[in-house]
Structure formats: C-alpha cells, structure tokens
Amino acid sequence: MDRIRVEGGRALCGSVYIQGSKNAALPVMAAAVLHRGITVLKNCPCITDVSDMERILESLGARTMRRGHVLTLDCRDIHGFCVPLEYGRRMRSSVILMGSLLGRRGKVTVPYPGGCTIGRRPVDLHLKIFKKMGIYVEERRGMLHASCREIQPTEHRFPFCSVGATENAILAAAACKGRTVLKNCAVEPEVKNLCLFLKKMGVKIQGTGTDCLVIEGGSQLKDTEFTIPSDRIAAGTYLFAGAITRGRVTLHRAPVEELTSILQVYEKMGGQYYRNSGKLVTDSRRIRYPVPYLETEAYPGFPTDMQSVLMSVLATVKGDSVIREQIFEERFKIVSPLNRMGARILVDGRDALIHGTSALKGQHVFAEELRGGAALVLAGLAADGVTVIENPHFIRRGYENFCENLAALGGKITVDR
Ligand code: EPZ
C-alpha cells in the first residue's frame, strides 16, 4: 500500500494550475447518457472518481476515450441499466445516474448509496421527487430499483437544498416531455454548470443559476463539446496550503468568483491577495488571526468541503476558533489525528472548538475520506518533522497530482509506493 510522506516546515511558494471540477464533471458525465450520441468534455480532471464513472458508463454500453484532459463519451449504444455494485458502493455520486438512466432506459438499479465517513447521506429527497414524476422506486437487499413507463412532469419544492437531489431531478426532467418546475433548488456552481451543459445539448431550461428551474424536457438532443470549469474546492485547498505554511502561492485558472466565502475567511485570518490578469496572487505571511465563529452553509456560504482543510489551518493559528458543521453529521473525523499531531481541538456536537497552537508535530495518520485526507497533508506541511499519511487513494478520488503540485510549490512531500 502506498503512503504519503511529508516533511513540514517549508513555506510554499510559486504557481499552481487548478484542475477541472470533480463535482461538475460527474453530473455532466451522467447527463451524457441522455443523448444517443457523442459528448466531448474538455478540462476533465484525471482523478479516480472520474475514471470510476467512466467504467460505470462502459459497463452500461458506452465507449469512453481519454486523451489527456479531453474525455470523449460515445453513448450511442447504452443498453444496460444496472450500476455495478463495486462502483456504486465506493462512489456515492453514482446515484446521479438514476435520473439519466430513467430518462434513457426507463429503469435503473443502483446499489443503495451507503453512508460514508462524513454522515448518513440519505437519498429520501431524490426518491420523493422521482415518485412525484411517476417513477416506481423500491429498495431490495441494499439495491435501489426504479422504473417508469414515462416520466411525468411535475411541480416540486425541495424541503431543503440538496445538490444531488436537485441534479437527479434536473436529469429526469430533461428526459420528460412537458414542463417541470423545481423550487428551492441547490444553487451550487456545479448545478448551474449541469444546466449549462444540458442547454448546450438542447434541453430547454429557464432559471439557470437560480433556485427555481423550469425544464421543458423531451427535445431532440445533439452531440456536444463542453469545457468542465475549474474546481473551487481544489482552488481553496491550495490557497489554504499556502496559508498553513505562511507562504506565497499564485493560483492559475482559479474560479475566483466562486471563492468569495473562502477568500473572506482567508482575509479574516490575515491573508492578502490580489487578482492579476486571470491569476489569484496570494500572500499568507501575515496569517495569524483566529476565526471566532464560522458555520458551513450551502452555496454561496462557506462550503462544507472546505471545513477540514480550514480546521488544519486554524490549528496553527494561535487563539480560539469555532467551526460549526451544518451540512453533514460526521465531518470532524480529522480532529483525532490533528490532536495527535499536537492540535487542541474539542468537538461539542456540531461545533469544533479549536485552540490554535504554533507547534504541530509530525505523526503517522490515516486518511479516511477525500477532504479530510487533504487536510492531513496540509497539517503535515506545517508540522515539525515527518508526517506519514496512509490511504492516499482517498485523496486521488478528487485531487489531480496533489502531491506533485505541492512538491512543485516547495513542499517536501513524496509518495512511498
Ligand atoms: C454534494 O454531495 C457533493 N458531492 C459533496 O462533495 C458536497 O459536500 C455536498 O454536495 C454539499 O455541497 C458531489 O457533488 C459529487 P447534498 P451530495 O445532497 O449531493 C442531506 C466532496 O468532498 N440529504 O447537498 O450528496 C445530506 O445528508 C463531496 O467532493 C438528505 O437528507 O450533498 C446532507 O446533510 C462530499 N436527503 C445535506 O442534505 C437527501 O436525499 C446536503 O447533501 C439528500 C441529501
């Protein structure tokens, strides 16, 4: 098993190019299934969640071709409707294929997307809108079976914002003749991006980017070429890698307009930045202020996917900070390894009370999920001595060349195979 080895104490300095967005690419790949044709995705990140989704599409009958960051999907011969257990269990986001397979094949079987280390991850909101669209759903022996003669248009207000449920509803509505109105939709950039892709493919959608979407489905779709936008969470992670090492990092191709809440926190801690012809130039040498209180929220609030990496940074800032995790129930898993590295963090329900210190020490720690794994690498970059992070496969699910990029910024980081 390989592991990451980090020798801390170096301020990161230099440029990093931000990858395409994992959470934008996955729903767009699912949407390609709706069209009996060819879809070409540019700036598609080379990460294992995307390659897993490629394998799932191939198991359904699609052909995929990867040339660098260009992924071509040939979905002319989709004959399957069952998402293989191996992938469905590992990748919760495969549930997003329900909407598009129902639209394409009128039926779908997916492994019940289990909870993961960050929480229960139910899919009741997905199933509720499917039932309103005339879709029969049954759970049998850990599998979700859904089928319908014809998807029915509907009007639906989500009880609260769910990115995945919104995306699944959009995909089912895109395939159904008639007018579907969705209210209280998630407004994450990835949802807007899915609408932009579907509109380019020929689906009529009004309200793109807002929480109220009107979708006229059933139109003829066409071959489409589309560029995946940059990953806002990857950008925030490299920003905070500069912050935790008090370095100076320039981010190229960062989606700056989607980073507002992250940059606000960065400035609160003492970070400085400016934009210079498409680059985000950051200077973390004055990072020293704790964040008395912050809560994770749906977009455009501070993203839950940035919570763990922020915790690592605040563990190195003297003073008391509080982070309230409002989206997932179990997203404080890195508190224990950070405390073993010398941090002083207390969990009280949904709150993490961080008493920052300047002396983290290298430790042998275990990544348990994607964003927590990245946060442990950042902690290793700031710690005295060597930190070994096991299970780097979690990090490769969402970050392309994570260790190579950090090494290019001056981090002393290797992957021991
Ligand atoms: C998406 O997950 C992202 N994943 C997550 O990123 C991200 O953390 C999350 O949105 C929130 O922004 C992808 O886009 C592939 P939700 P998703 O449905 O769609 C509850 C990462 O690290 N809920 O918006 O699963 C749910 O339990 C990943 O890249 C229900 O109760 O998130 C959570 O508490 C992690 N019932 C809240 O809603 C449902 O039917 C928000 O979840 C669905 C969700």
And the tokens for 118?
């960050």
- Report the distance separating Cα 192 and Cα 88, nearest Å: 25
- For residue 357, the tally of other CB atoms under 10 A from its CB is 15
Question: In the prediction, which pLDDT does 359 show?
Answer: 85
Atom of ligand 1 minimally distant from the CA of 371: 22
- CA 74 / ligand 1 centre spacing (Å): 28
Q: Residue 386, exposed/middle/buried by CB under 10 A (0-12, 13-18, 19+)?
A: middle
Residues 6+ apart with CB under 8 A from 43: 20, 69, 227, 228, 229, 230
> 């990140």: which residue's tokens?
45
Question: In the prediction, which pLDDT does 237 show?
Answer: 99
And the tokens for 411?
């981090």
- Report the distance separating Cα 2 and Cα 393, nearest Å: 9
Question: In the prediction, which pLDDT does 398 show?
Answer: 97
Q: Is 12 in the pocket of ligand 1 (CB under 6 A)?
A: no
Q: Is 397 in the pocket of ligand 1 (CB under 6 A)?
A: no
Closest CA to 376 of 334, 324, 410: 334
Question: In the prediction, which pLDDT does 330 show?
Answer: 87
Question: In the prediction, which pLDDT does 116 show?
Answer: 64
* Residues 273 and 262: beta-carbon distance below 8 Å: no
Per-residue pLDDT of 27-77, as tens digits, reads 999 999 999 999 999 999 999 999 999 999 999 999 999 999 999 999 999
Among 48, 50, 98, 163, name the best residue to mutate to test ligand 1's pocket (greatest count of ligand atoms within 8 A of Cβ).
163
Residue nearest to atom 6 of ligand 1 (CA): 305
C-alpha distances (whole Å) from 121 to each of 125, 299, 348 are 11, 18, 21
- Candidate list 116, 195, 212, 403, residue with the active-site label: 116
- Report the distance separating Cα 129 and Cα 315, nearest Å: 42
Q: Is 413 in the pocket of ligand 1 (CB under 6 A)?
A: no
Q: Is 164 in the pocket of ligand 1 (CB under 6 A)?
A: yes
Q: What angle do CA 123, 126, 127 make, to 5 degrees?
A: 90
Low-confidence ranges of the chain (pLDDT < 50): none
Q: Is 308 in the pocket of ligand 1 (CB under 6 A)?
A: no
Active site residue 176: no
C-alpha distances (whole Å) from 30 to each of 73, 170, 293 are 10, 11, 38
